[in-house]
């Protein structure tokens, strides 16, 4: 089962301060991914956030969202390499419809100064950006990270997600076309570069808080974020689960196995 978010500033999935940002510190490339089912979109270029992570004061570190600014709604990946950067982002090219399950994310190649959005297994509109550092250099984040919002306890609704979210994952590497194609086929992120997978929250809706089964980050349910139908995903066997996941969260691993 997934989680069903709404554009209500009292409702989100709060990951806590400096959680994912600390995990990706020092990475020269970062990949992000999620499955999602939108009910509606706001119209800002950086609205409709699936994942919001801060690197410093009022500064987004990494994010995936849907660019709602045009007639076509586009997957968008963005972030910074450090607090001295301006926000860097690129949008894809395929229209992301409401009322259906989709998947996507992106790669911030910090060392190579590129961002590549991915939608349903394909790279879209990859291109050059300007990162100030060669690796992700964490600052002092000033607010909580969140799934389905810009940051925890958001003050405004447009950046919030309206619809279902599942299978949110972050890697400290470029998982590439093969990795995203594998995820698009319905394989769990555990099958894709598990050696650099640092965050994976399936969002089954069975636990509150939700649990990241790799690093043990908890997702506190603020207000009401209901349980909802999950996309069909292929998970590892029980022995593989014990190899891939941390012993700190056996109950979450047990849900999959």
- pLDDT at residue 255, as a whole number: 57
Distance CA 84, CA 2 (A): 36
Residue pLDDT, tens place only, 103-154: 999 999 999 999 999 999 999 999 999 999 999 999 999 999 999 999 877 8
Q: What is the mean pLDDT of residues 57-65?
A: 97
Q: Which of 151, 146, 130, 149 is nearest to 59 (CA)?
A: 151
Q: What is the dihedral of CA 55, 114, 195, 203, to 10 degrees?
A: 60
Buried/exposed code over 93-102 (b: 16+ C-beta within 10 A; e: otherwise): ebebeeeebb
247 has a pLDDT exceeding 50: no
73 has a pLDDT exceeding 60: yes
Average of per-residue pLDDT values in the chain: 94
Q: What percent of the chain has pLDDT over 70?
A: 92
Residue whose entry in the numeric block shows the structure tokens 């800002």: 44
Residue pLDDT, tens place only, 16-44: 999 999 999 999 999 999 999 999 999 99
Distance CA 243, CA 47 (A): 37
Q: What is the mean pLDDT of residues 72-91?
A: 98
- pLDDT at residue 40, as a whole number: 98
- pLDDT at residue 116, as a whole number: 98
The model's pTM is 0.95
């Amino acid at each position: 089962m997934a989680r069903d978010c709404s554009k209500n500033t009292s409702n989100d999935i709060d990951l806590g301060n400096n959680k994912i940002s600390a995990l990706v510190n020092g990475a020269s490339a970062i990949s992000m991914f999620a499955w999602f089912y939108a009910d509606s979109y706001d119209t800002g270029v950086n609205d409709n956030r699936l994942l919001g992570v801060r690197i410093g004061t009022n500064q987004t570190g990494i994010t995936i969202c849907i660019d709602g600014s045009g007639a076509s709604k586009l997957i968008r990946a963005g972030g910074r390499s450090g607090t001295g950067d301006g926000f860097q982002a690129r949008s894809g090219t395929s229209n992301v419809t409401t009322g259906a399950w989709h998947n996507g994310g992106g790669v911030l190649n910090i060392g190579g100064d590129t961002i590549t959005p991915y939608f349903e297994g394909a790279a879209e509109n990859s291109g050059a950006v300007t990162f100030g550092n060669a690796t992700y250099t964490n600052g002092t984040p000033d607010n909580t990270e969140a799934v389905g919002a810009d940051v925890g306890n958001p003050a405004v609704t447009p950046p919030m997600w309206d619809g279902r979210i599942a299978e949110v994952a972050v890697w400290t590497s470029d998982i590439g076309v093969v990795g995203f194609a594998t995820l698009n086929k319905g394989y769990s992120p555990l099958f894709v570069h598990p050696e650099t997978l640092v965050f994976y929250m399936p969002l089954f809706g069975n636990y509150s808080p939700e649990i990241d089964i790799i690093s043990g980050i908890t997702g506190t349910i603020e207000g009401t974020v209901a349980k909802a139908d999950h996309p069909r995903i292929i998970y590892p066997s029980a022995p593989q689960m014990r190899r891939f996941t941390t012993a700190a969260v056996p109950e979450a691993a047990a849900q999959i196995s």
